[in-house]
Amino acid sequence: MAQPAKTILWVDDEAELLEPHRLLLGDKGYVVVTATNADDALELLRRHSYDLVLLDEQMPGTRGLDAYKDIRELSPTLPVVMVTKSEEDATLKEAIGANIRDYLVKPVTPRQVLSVITKILDGPLIRSQAMARAFVERFRAIEQERYANLDWRGWIERFAELMQWDVELAEAGELGLHESLRGLYPDMHRAFADYMRREYPRWLRELEGDRPPLSVDVFQEFVLPVLQRDRKVIFVVIDCLRLDQWRVLEPLLAPLFEVETTHYYSILPTATPYARNALFSGLFPGEIAARFPDWWGERDDETLNAHEKDLLVAQLAELQVAATVRYQKLTTANDSDDLERHLPAAIAGEGVHAFVFNFVDMLTHGRSESMILYEVARDEIALRALTKQWFERSALLSLLREASRRNISVVVTSDHGALHCNTPATVFAKRDATANLRYKFGEDIRSEKSEHALLFSNPDDLRLPHRGPGNNSLIAAGDTFFVYPTKLREYQGRYKGSFLHGGVTPEECILPVSLLTPKR
């Protein structure tokens, strides 16, 4: 069924000169209605609906910008393009300040007018169609490509591409194509688990070989060079931020910073006690437990993260770098309010200013416990939207604005990602097994189906603390969460559809690390 023609209202006291424009716009499927003054135009707007208004600024009687205010009251979302003979900067600034959609200076050609109208009325559809064509072409190629030949760099490139398509298709409303894209993820998860089963222990054995940057390398490779260059750096860790979430935040930083984003791999398990301690210490968990036994006990919760500042100070000492460390973790609204009140003092002086923001992690955890959060964060698309909404009003954005104003470079990263988990995976374990849903440690622990998890019987393969003979490490693969045979229904009812972390998927392992250089 053909779409109705879009209607343009053109307000200009020299209507007889508009005929060439009307002819071209008519040939392109637009209907043009004219008015010679603002009063007539407002009367037409009261009686009919229009898709766009072309408004002359210099008319007898009510001037265009005054008429624009009345148009806004009648139809707040109606796009208005100012067409004027005036080349004065004051008029241009006044129009921009009034939020005019576009601005044309006479004389204008029919093609110029057509270009502006097409961009405003049909631009989103044209861009969406172009994106759909590009995706369909690339989708066929991705389906034929194999994951087996990818090295760690190839995995980053492939995953980053899929995440970019994920974000763009969702934002364009191409939900059918987005579902097609999501259909690629199960194979990707299986192939990535096989890759990490084979390569991850090798990376940890051959630290000087060809391997990706890991959690233990982030400070030395990405933060320290900025500190040594500028004698000062802000280091921000956003707990549980996925690559696709960072992609929707990046454009918000463009007015403030030049943004250079690369990637690293989280250590396993991809959980806060392990991955974030590795970021601050530059050490694997087994090394932390050996060097600082008072800071690492027999537990797997986030109380293990109580010494992040101390670990960062120790890492700087190990690197023989003399620099002060200031550290702040923001978990509550009061923490954020306190930072906003003391922003200049919080980043004053030289050295490392480290900040940990816990909101995204709290959102993903809280979603499992709250039906309201579960409803508003039903999937990855909604989670990205909530993350963006938080960021736009967050103390983090205030911190970054202040850093840009003071010309301080910032390194932003995440400690691990999360995955939308829907598949219960039965595990068998003795009573000493840990309670985590995406990773477990315990004596003789195993998964009912081998494809549901990676099993490591030697803790040295993961550089983890030794827990005694016979203890295995089980890391979830794909979108699984661990359940016991006796609690299958209880766990499935409580955790199915949750965003969880600790496993071995690209969403949890492949993370952004971005250098933000203030625009001068």
- Reported as a single tens digit per residue, the pLDDT across 301-346 is 678 899 999 999 999 999 999 999 999 999 999 999 999 999 999 9
Question: For residue 86, what pLDDT is reported?
Answer: 66
Element (H, E) at 237: strand 232-238
Burial of residue 344 (CB within 10 Å: 0-12, 13-18, 19+) is exposed
Residue 282, pLDDT above cutoff 90: yes
Chain segment 83-98, per-residue pLDDT in tens: 887 666 676 677 777 7
Considering the chain, what percentage of its residues have pLDDT values greater than 70?
Answer: 96
Could you tell me which residues are beta bridge partners of residue 238?
Answer: 357, 414
* Distance of alpha carbon 165 from the chain centroid: 13
Chain segment 116-162, per-residue pLDDT in tens: 999 999 888 888 888 889 999 898 888 888 788 899 999 999 999 99
Question: For residue 297, what pLDDT is reported?
Answer: 75
Question: For residue 254, what pLDDT is reported?
Answer: 95
Region 67-74 average pLDDT: 88
Chain segment 194-211, per-residue pLDDT in tens: 999 999 999 999 888 899
Question: Do residues 424 and 500 touch, judged by C-beta distance below 8 A?
Answer: no
Question: For residue 205, what pLDDT is reported?
Answer: 92
Please give the CATH topology (third level) of the domain spanning 7-121. Rossmann fold (3.40.50)
Question: For residue 84, what pLDDT is reported?
Answer: 80
Region 13-18 average pLDDT: 80
Length of the chain: 520
Question: For residue 352, what pLDDT is reported?
Answer: 98
- pLDDT confidence tier of residue 1, bands split at 50, 70 and 90: very low
Question: For residue 107, what pLDDT is reported?
Answer: 84
Residue 63, pLDDT above cutoff 90: no
- pLDDT confidence tier of residue 13, bands split at 50, 70 and 90: confident
Q: What are phi and psi of 426, to 5 degrees?
A: -75, 135
What's the half-sphere exposure (Cβ side, CA atoms, 13 Å) at 216?
Answer: 17
Question: For residue 430, what pLDDT is reported?
Answer: 81
Question: For residue 444, what pLDDT is reported?
Answer: 84
Mean pLDDT estimate for the chain: 90
Chain segment 206-248, per-residue pLDDT in tens: 888 899 999 999 999 999 999 999 999 999 999 999 999 999 9
**Beta pairing class for 80-84 and 102-105:** parallel
Residue spans of the domains in the chain: they are: 7-121, 127-191, 214-417+508-518, 423-496
> Which structure tokens are listed for 464?
């983890």
What's the half-sphere exposure (Cβ side, CA atoms, 13 Å) at 305?
Answer: 20
Reduced to 3 states, what is the DSSP secondary structure of residue 35? strand
Considering the chain, what percentage of its residues have pLDDT values greater than 90?
Answer: 64
Question: For residue 488, what pLDDT is reported?
Answer: 72
